[in-house]
């Protein structure tokens, strides 16, 4: 009886020693293998297309705030995990909104930012063309503002004309 007790205890200890290792070996979510640490140039290439969430209109790559330093570190981590530039940009847009990217995404009313400036430029160029063409046309034909006729009945003008006729 003592011998079976010792044999049972030994088998139980052996089973307990092996079980945790088997459970850890079957991790259901495989972790991506980290790549080499990204360089500062790789991080800054992405950071210059993002803007500081705290400061207005300051690119992330030159902003000295603590928040931007943390963002640059997040970019470094995501690059090390194998994310590409668009995935990182999409992540920050999802977290902080469209205001953190250098150009608005082409959706909704943001399309106006891409359509209105060229249309305004073309309309302005057409207006300038028409104005210049009209002025050149007037100059070429000799038409211009007519010379004002001397007012009739002006005594000074009448005397001036008489003097000019005498000298001829």
What string of DSSP letters covers 44-87?
Answer: HHHHTTBB-SSSSS-BTTT--SHHHHHHHHHHHHHHHTT--HHH
Estimate to the nearest angstrom the gap between the alpha carbon of 124 and the chain centroid. Answer: 26
pLDDT of 125 strictly over 90: yes
Angle made by CA atoms 150, 156, 160, in degrees to the nearest 5: 85
- Give me the architecture of the 40-103 domain, per CATH: Orthogonal Bundle (1.10)
**Residue extents of the structural domains in the chain:** 40-103, 106-143
d(CA 59, CA 48): 5
pLDDT at 121 over 90: yes
pLDDT tens, residue by residue, 85-103: 889 988 988 888 877 887 7
The whole-number pLDDT of residue 138 equals: 67
Nearest residue to 51 via CA among 89, 94, 79, 81: 89
The predicted structure's pLDDT at residue 126: 93
Crossing angle for the helix pair 40-47 and 66-80, to the nearest 10 degrees = 120
Beta bridge partners of 50: 101
Between 161 and 25, the more confident residue is 161
What does each C-alpha distance from 127 to 39, 93, 133, 138 come to in angstroms?
51, 40, 10, 17
Mean of all residue pLDDT scores within the chain: 77
pTM of the model: 0.47
- For the cut 90, the answer to whether the pLDDT of residue 122 exceeds it is yes
pLDDT per position as a tens digit, 12-47: 565 656 555 544 555 455 455 555 688 888 888 888
Tracing tokens 């608005």 back to the chain, one arrives at 104
pLDDT at residue 123 above 50? Answer: yes
Q: What is the pLDDT of residues 47-83, one digit of tens each?
A: 888 888 778 788 888 888 888 889 899 999 999 998 9
């Amino acid at each position: 009886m003592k011998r079976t007790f010792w044999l049972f205890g030994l088998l139980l200890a052996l089973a307990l020693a092996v079980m945790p290792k088997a459970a850890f070996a079957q991790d259901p979510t495989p972790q991506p293998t980290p790549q080499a640490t990204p360089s500062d140039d790789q991080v800054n290439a992405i950071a210059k297309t993002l803007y500081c969430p705290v400061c207005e209109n300051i690119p992330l790559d030159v902003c000295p705030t603590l928040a931007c330093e943390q963002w640059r570190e997040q970019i470094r981590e995501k690059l090390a995990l194998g994310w590409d530039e668009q995935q990182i940009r999409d992540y920050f847009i999802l977290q902080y909104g469209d205001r953190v990217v250098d150009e608005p995404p082409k959706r909704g009313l943001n399309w106006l930012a891409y359509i209105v400036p060229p249309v305004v430029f073309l309309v302005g160029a057409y207006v300038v063309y028409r104005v210049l063409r009209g002025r050149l046309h007037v100059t070429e034909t000799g038409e211009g503002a007519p010379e004002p006729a001397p007012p009739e009945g002006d005594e000074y003008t009448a005397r001036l004309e008489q003097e000019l006729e005498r000298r001829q």
